[in-house]
Amino acid sequence: MDDRPIGVFDSGLGGLTAVAEIRKILPFENIIYFGDTSRVPYGGRSPEILLKYARQDVGFLRSFDIKAVVVACGTVSTTALPQLKAESDLPILGVVEPACRRAVKMTKSKKVGLIATAASVRSGQYERTIAAIDPTVEVIGAACPLFVPLVENGRYRVGDAVVEQIAEEYLAPLREAGVDTLIMGCTHYPLLTEVVGKIMGEGVELINAGAEAAWELKRTLTATDALANEREGAYKLYASDITGDFAALAGQFLNDTVPAVEGVDIDQY
């Protein structure tokens, strides 16, 4: 048993979708979440800058006595995970591998779609991971750079003409390719599940990368006897820039009334 908290980070609010899943699956765990809101979005940045930001994000989380880190960011998971793991004595979990394993399990047509940030798609990491599991599965990727700013601004609902039009455009090549499984490879995208599901149609299985990472976390903590004792877990939110609507938006991501959010000067880490 280990009651120390789990550290979770993302560029902004998106990783809170993973926190919501962790809280469902592991209700006894304490969580410290950091959203790098002063530098969101990460999705168009270079691997060098992403590694620098990710090291600072992990550095902040490690200023607490945590037992594991969940990189609740597809972009960092695709570009900086091996370095972060090599530099850490703690378990560091990303979102790519668990999502790929699930996608390979689900697909019957052997055509898997991937929507993610430009940096994630450019990295080729989802393709490499899937090829290592099953080389006969084809991955059709589409970068969706406008999704993160839209979601961060609360524009993700069915009926929002702007979101629906952009989603139609991004998803058209995946529909034409006949994918039967779609990895939502960015932790902001679960908020768009209804919009994406409506466009892709009922026959397409949507994979929530953050949810798959939450299951992976449970397996890891169970295997290392590091689960928390059975009492209600709590979470605490930190952000590098707290704008007026942060708490309200965070509440939408978590489906909860969020506790006070604390500011962090991330340049100190």
Annotated active-site positions, please? Answer: 73, 186
Nearest-approach distance from CB 120 to ligand DGL, in angstroms? 6
Q: Is the peptide bond before 173 cis (omega within 30 degrees of 0)?
A: no
Greatest Cα-to-Cα distance within the chain, rounded to the nearest angstrom: 49
11 is a site residue for ligand DGL (CB under 6 A): yes
Token digits of residue 89: 């004595």
94 sits near ligand DGL (criterion: CB under 6 A): no
Q: Which stretch binds ligand DGL (CB under 6 A): 71-79, 127-135, 199-207, 246-254?
A: 71-79
Could you say which of 30, 37, 75, 123 contacts ligand DGL (CB under 6 A)? 75
3-state secondary structure of 25: helix
Is residue 208 near ligand DGL by the rule CB under 6 A? no
**Number of residues near ligand DGL (by CB under 6 A):** 17
Chain centroid to Cα 91, Å, comes to 17
When binding is defined by CB under 6 A, the residue of 30, 187, 208, 240 that contacts ligand DGL is 187
Residue 14 binds ligand DGL (CB under 6 A): yes
In the bound state with ligand DGL, the residue whose beta carbon lies nearer, of 35 and 91, is: 35
User: Is 42 near ligand DGL (CB under 6 A)?
Assistant: yes
| DSSP conformation class of 268 | G
By the rule CB under 6 A, 113 interacts with ligand DGL: no
By CB under 6 A, is residue 73 in contact with ligand DGL?
A: yes
User: Cα–Cα–Cα angle for 65, 66, 67, nearest 5°?
Assistant: 130
Task: Using CB under 6 A, pick the residue from 31, 54, 70, 186 that binds ligand DGL.
Answer: 186
Please tell me whether residue 98 adopts helix, strand or coil conformation.
helix
Q: Segment contacting ligand DGL (CB under 6 A): 40-48, 82-90, 191-199, 230-238?
A: 40-48
Q: Least separation, in Å, of the C-beta of 14 and ligand DGL? A: 3
Please check whether residue 22 is in contact with residue 214, taking contact to mean a CB–CB distance below 8 angstroms: yes
Decide: is 141 part of the binding site for ligand DGL (CB under 6 A): no
Residues 6+ apart with CB under 8 A from 231: 28
Q: Environment class of residue 256 by beta-carbon count within 10 Å: exposed (0-12), middle (13-18) or buried (19+)?
A: middle
Q: What is the rounded distance in angstroms from the CA atom of residue 125 to the CA atom of residue 259?
A: 35
Measured between alpha carbons, how far is 252 from 257 in angstroms, rounded to an integer?
8
Q: Could you tell me the smallest distance in angstroms from the CB atom of residue 75 to ligand DGL?
A: 4
Q: Which residues bind ligand DGL (CB under 6 A)?
A: 10-12, 14, 40-43, 73-75, 117, 120, 148, 186-188
